[in-house]
Structure 1
Amino acid sequence: MKEGPDIARIGTLIGDPARANMLTALMGGQALTATELAQAASVSLQTASSHLSKLQDGGLITQRKQGRHRYFALADSAAGSLLESIMGFAASRGHLRQRPGPKDPALRKARVCYDHLAGDYGVRILDSFIAREVIETDGENLAVTSSGRQAISELGIDLEKLAPSRRPLCKSCLDWSERRSHLAGTLGKALFQHFLDNGWARRSSESRAVLFTPEGERRFLSLFPL
């Protein structure tokens, strides 16, 4: 009898094209209805419900009810990191579903990866932090330095409030478009929320793209120099 984690089951769940499209739609970090996910997967509502049931049983998504409506979201940050890593691996091997289209430049520049910033700007944050010794790395693990705690505090991020979380403070996440790592973890989430709360950027209503205002972009680039 074979022992150990059953990666075949996860691979089968993610490998179905319709379910893969649903999971990609949920990478925006927002909860979506079965109807919205059916549209994203180009399947009927009945077929979508079957797929969603399988994804939920497999621990990849969760659902919650609000009134008469049911909403679906990724189960947790681990599911988001898994999907982004698979996207990065697929892109690095040339497995791209279509040629770049009009919307792709915005997605490559800045997009949502579950609850943190990805794309060129997401990678820029991590590169800038490492270059300025705000974050130190041994190649895989990330940690905020003593001087870095002060620098992050000056950005308006309270690290003490982030510490109690069961999620890591800093985590590298393979970026599918840049094919390098961007910053995830509770710090990555807090920074992204900081940009939104201060009006520097907003989510696109049509895709996972994050759109910066001219002033927001100026502030972002000044805070994260390369």
Structure 2
Amino acid sequence: MGNAIKFTQEGHILLRLRREGKNINFNVEDTGIGIAVDKQHRLFRAFERLGQESSAIEGTGIGLMITKQLVELMGGTLEFASEAGVGTTFTLWLPLTNGPATAALDAPVAAEGAQPPPNPHQNSPKIRVLYVEDNADNRALMQDIADERDDVQLILAHTGEQGLELALSTPHPDLILMDINLPGISGQQAAARLKKWTDTRDIPILALSADATVPSMGAANASGLFAGYLTKPLNLAELMALFDTTAARVLSGRK
């Protein structure tokens, strides 16, 4: 749906949802720019934007790859049909199981006044996480993730210079997630400055990069500037565990 909105300037975007036997079907149809036949085989490759790299439309080229992997892990399929200049239709099929998700489709609406399930992070200490990332889509994704937790206050910066300024602001962040490849001051240069300053030298900084090669990871770790190295696309479970560890550390320090 997000891609349909980004690449459709006129016409329509239709979302259809239906249940067929033991399957559920999602269908997104748009009248956007479409995809040329000779480019369609590259659609689900990582960091592939099909010639849109220089356009004004931002993106990372990993969204569809991640979506396809998640769908297949759930036993489903993701298909598409597209014609350049006409539009694109994505069709998602997911099997329904006999678990809670299936029961929820047929369950009656909860009675008025019913209590929602407890939030495991509701009573956790509020942690301040500074995320330095030049890509707007990645910042939006991280904001969505942080919004799922009551104990994370996300602070966003789009350049190394802005990240330094926000890190020095009080109260200081409890954790810094630093993209290595930033315009202007690089992530490694920004981290080096933070480690020199008394107010910020003890803040854990984790390097973020789409480069998962051994030399790049080794160089970041050997610099002594980073407490860890996270690769893009981010592993959600790993990120949540990092937030949990930070919350526990902050709680211990505040007692």
Answer whether TM exceeds 0.5 for this pair: no
Q: TM bucket by the smaller chain?
A: under 0.3
**TM-score w.r.t. length of structure 1:** 0.28
Structure number having the greater strand percentage:
2
Higher-Rg structure is 2
Higher relative contact order structure (alpha carbons within 8 Å, sequence separation ≥ 6) = 1
In the superposition, the TM-score normalised over structure 2's length comes to 0.26
